[in-house]
Structure 1
Amino acid sequence: MNTNEIVSKLWNLCNVLRDDGITYHQYVTELTYVLFLKMLDETETDGQVPEEYRWKSLTSKIGMELYSHYRTLLNDLGNKGTGLVGSIYANASTNITTPANLEKIIKSIDALDWYSARHEGLGDLYEGLLEKNANEKKSGAGQYFTPRPLINVMVKLLDPQLGEKCNDPAAGTFGFMIAAAQHVKENNNSYFGLEPRVVDFQLEEAFSGCELVPETHRLALMNTMLHGLKSQILLGDSLSSIGQQMSNVDVILTNPPFGTKKGGERPTRDDLLFTTSNKQLNFLQHIYRALSPKSGKARAAVVLPDNVLFQDGDGQRIRTDLMDKCNLHTILRLPTGIFYAAGVKTNVLFFDLGKELSNNTKDVWIYDLRTNMDSFGKRSMLNEGHFDGFVTAYKAKDRLNVQDERWNVFTREQIKAMSDNLDLGLIADDSLNSYEDLPDPIESAEESIVKLEQAISLLNEVVRELNVAKGGQV
């Protein structure tokens, strides 16, 4: 039995819980509570859990006795557990209301082919479950799942090295950092022959992050453990003072949450030059401020929506500051449909911390992977092959000689003349020349709704700022 088959079997157990009214996300959380104990049992590392709460305590009970024991287990491990155990079960409670359903899940998990799962990688199995959850959960509430092919391409292009500190200030389930850790390990012979202190650094300090949502933080900790890492993942908001702890980083890979702060709130930290209710603009500031000037090659790749490229006011000032302090050398215009909120248009910004005090951006290269592309979704999945043209252009020693209509360059002077608007580089849309190939009306309507919501949000921000300027009520 391979990993995909085990993932399918585990995912199908969710059907058992439908009568309990449990959502997919609640199911993944519930499964994490149970799988954590099973994984410790399989890896013979369950000494960190009191004996009365180990995996065998679940398989030796049935019915109401099992259900009562499970609830006690969650409560005690959450309140008395220490270290990773305490973090995994913090504020844990069950959404299962039928003892027979809990019993079936535990028996089904115990009966799976765990020898094969260990051989293929327990971390890959768990990530498969997280991806299933993302595919089913369409209403992201601002939390967008980053497709694995995109993560892999971003990691390969930034090419994190042994000894570098990598960070994701919007960690989610820690997918970027796990991919970065695997990249470094594969490029260094699985750390074979390295000094213990070097290996310890890679496992404990090289990869870090911060996640705001407690439930997602729990999943990130589980994901990290199953990939053999002991990374620090802070629980909190990177736009608060906790974010100031994440500094002097060599590599940042991230997909910050989209949207605006509720009620127009601004960051509570005091070290950002420009503060706005637009979360992704604040995250962008955090990212280029957190890069370390010591190594001389600090770099970042960040997924951001289109409005970051063209928003006026603070948006323009932040883009100007970014291009002044950093070398914003490449922008990838991503295709639509790869995220689970309809109509969201996104980009990846690649930049290096500048070596000069100012004026570090000279040219911005833009690759249009959006226009005249297939519509991606559940039926047409994105894969790494779709990025081949971009990767070739990105890595070219002489970018001017790349023969690709999607690849364009704009000088800093040209961008300044356009008020530092970076909404550039899109090629001619062939579909506009054919009445037979008009956009899907539903997708067009959804996209219009998203744009209207963004416009309303920006107008609300302007009104709030005017009120503040006049000394009025926010």
Structure 2
Amino acid sequence: MISAIVELMKPQPREIIQDPAAGTAGFLIEADKYIKAHTDNLDGLSDDDAEFQRSRAFVGLELVPETRRLALMNCLLHDIDGDSEHGAIRLGNTLGADGSSIPKANVVLSNPPFGSAASTNITRKFVHQTGNKQLCFMQHIIETLEPGGRAAVVIPDNVLFEGGKGTDIRRDLMNKCNLHTILRLPTGIFYAAGVKTNVLFFQKGTPDNPHQDTNCTQATWVYDMRTNMQTFGKRRMLTDDHFKGFIAAYGEDANGQSPRVEGVYTQLGEIDGLSTDEGDDTARWRVFSRDYIREQKGDSLDISWIKDLEASSAENLPEPDILAGEAMVELTEAMSELYQLMQALGADDEAEAQKQLLEQAFGLEEKAVEDTPEHSEPKDQAELLGGQA
């Protein structure tokens, strides 16, 4: 999956490539591999350009010290040194002051951590204040991109449809950036079982005017790789071949400007018994105007149109653990919204009391005492229910 995203984004020499949620640096290392494969392992570059690639091209930010050390080791094994002060991966909080000081980027490749409840880790002042981590990461990415810069970001479904500040942030994204493509991924690929994810592809400004900051999105293409697909996991792996249809539809232009035609009626990994008719309701690749998204969807980007046979046939239902995971995700998001609503209504004490009851129910209160401050961080409500920090 990561290699497919990098292949579409086509990072180039002397571009600054950033991952604000670096983890073990998987995206950055894959981008480095891509550039080396197209420059004869950097031998095709000038000495100055080659040194830039080793010391300045890749910038990551990671919150957890142990993970950051693994990322640094991973980078060094791939001859990515980073600068002399920080290395390629900085230790810090993207949603705090560290995120404001990180170098601006030409390319952002990222899979922000899962967690939708209010968190003490969000200390940075954003235009749209929210406790949803992914929405805060989206605001960071919009801010950190240079004019004309491009991004591919993995986000869960709730970012596409969450109301209130979520709607404001999506409008801001479509206003300041050209959100040209959305890939709806099969369930449970990046996060826990049951979590539905997507990849947003966008460019800051427009192809004609990188400095444009209003009305940048005119239309968005959506590829549905989720509806009526088999369940992927340890028993059935998702491979590069599954992405060939999407890569072909996306086209050669990294900013989504290649000629595109609606269609794609077959997809590797789809369930048996699907209609062979070719029409709008069976195509996996469609385009939606900005007016449609605004007027018909209320600026929700949760766009689907194919009839979901999995939802109507017991034979096609996912495995029980997937169904249980989906139910848990929905309950987590609902409780997160209730928690934030109680805080907004001024019932902070009651909200905290309910949160403590939840911690006790999952046996997490005792675990929190055992954790040392330097090796743990405050857990928000989504993390308590199995999301990633």
SS in 1 for 2:340: helix
Unaligned residue ranges in structure 1 (runs of 5+) = 1-149
Q: How far apart, in 2, do the equivalents of 1:342 and 1:373 lie?
A: 15
Tell me whether 1:463 sits opposite 2:342 in the alignment. Answer: yes
How far is 1:398 from its partner?
2.5
Tell me whether 1:190 sits opposite 2:41 in the alignment. Answer: yes
Tell me whether 1:258 sits opposite 2:114 in the alignment. Answer: yes
**C-alpha deviations, 1:57-97, integer Å up to 9, x for none?**
xxxxxxxxxxxxxxxxxxxxxxxxxxxxxxxxxxxxxxxxx
**C-alpha deviations, 1:146-174, integer Å up to 9, x for none?**
xxxx1101101010001111000000000
How far is 1:447 from its partner?
1.1
Rg bigger for which structure? 1
How far is 1:459 from its partner?
1.8
Q: How does 1:219-234 map to 2 (within 5 A)?
A: 219-231=70-82, 232-234=88-90
Match of 1:343 among 194, 214, 217: 194
Q: 4+ residue stretches of structure 1 with deviation over 4 A?
A: none
- Contact kept, 8 Å, 1:367 with 1:425, in 2: the verdict is no
SS in 2 for 1:280: helix
Q: How far apart, in 1, do the equivalents of 2:91 and 2:19 lie?
A: 12
Match of 2:287 among 400, 409, 415: 409
Percent identity between the two aligned chains: 49
Tell me whether 1:399 sits opposite 2:260 in the alignment. Answer: yes
SS in 2 for 1:182: helix
SS in 2 for 1:467: coil
How far is 1:339 from its partner?
3.2
How far is 1:437 from its partner?
2.9
How far is 1:186 from its partner?
0.8
Q: How does 1:88-237 map to 2 (within 5 A)?
A: 150-231=1-82, 232-237=88-93
Whose relative contact order is higher, 1 or 2, with alpha carbons under 8 Å and at least 6 apart? Answer: 2
Q: How far apart, in 1, do the equivalents of 2:321 and 2:161 lie?
A: 25
- What residue in structure 2 maps to residue 453 of structure 1? 332
Normalising by structure 1, we get a TM-score of 0.64
Q: CA RMSD in A?
A: 2.1
- What residue in structure 2 maps to residue 317 of structure 1? 168
Q: How far apart, in 2, do the equivalents of 1:189 and 1:226 lie?
A: 18
SS in 2 for 1:191: coil
Q: Against the structure 1 CA distance between its residues 212 and 426, is the aligned structure 2 distance closer, same or farther, given a 3 Å change threshold?
A: farther
How many residues align structurally? 319
- What residue in structure 2 maps to residue 383 of structure 1? 239
- Contact kept, 8 Å, 2:195 with 2:325, in 1: the verdict is no
Unaligned residue ranges in structure 2 (runs of 5+) = 83-87, 253-257, 266-282, 353-389
Match of 2:224 among 349, 368, 373: 368
- What residue in structure 2 maps to residue 291 of structure 1? 145
Tell me whether 1:443 sits opposite 2:298 in the alignment. Answer: no
Q: Against the structure 1 CA distance between its residues 330 and 403, is the aligned structure 2 distance closer, same or farther, given a 3 Å change threshold?
A: same
Q: How far apart, in 2, do the equivalents of 1:451 and 1:258 lie?
A: 13
How far is 1:426 from its partner?
4.5
Match of 1:269 among 113, 124, 128: 124
- Contact kept, 8 Å, 1:266 with 1:276, in 2: the verdict is no
How far is 1:190 from its partner?
1.4
The structure where helix makes up a greater share of residues is 1
Q: How far apart, in 2, do the equivalents of 1:438 and 1:254 lie?
A: 31
Q: How far apart, in 2, do the equivalents of 1:220 and 1:228 lie?
A: 12
Normalising by structure 2, we get a TM-score of 0.78
Q: How far apart, in 1, do the equivalents of 2:328 and 2:44 lie?
A: 56
**C-alpha deviations, 1:43-64, integer Å up to 9, x for none?**
xxxxxxxxxxxxxxxxxxxxxx
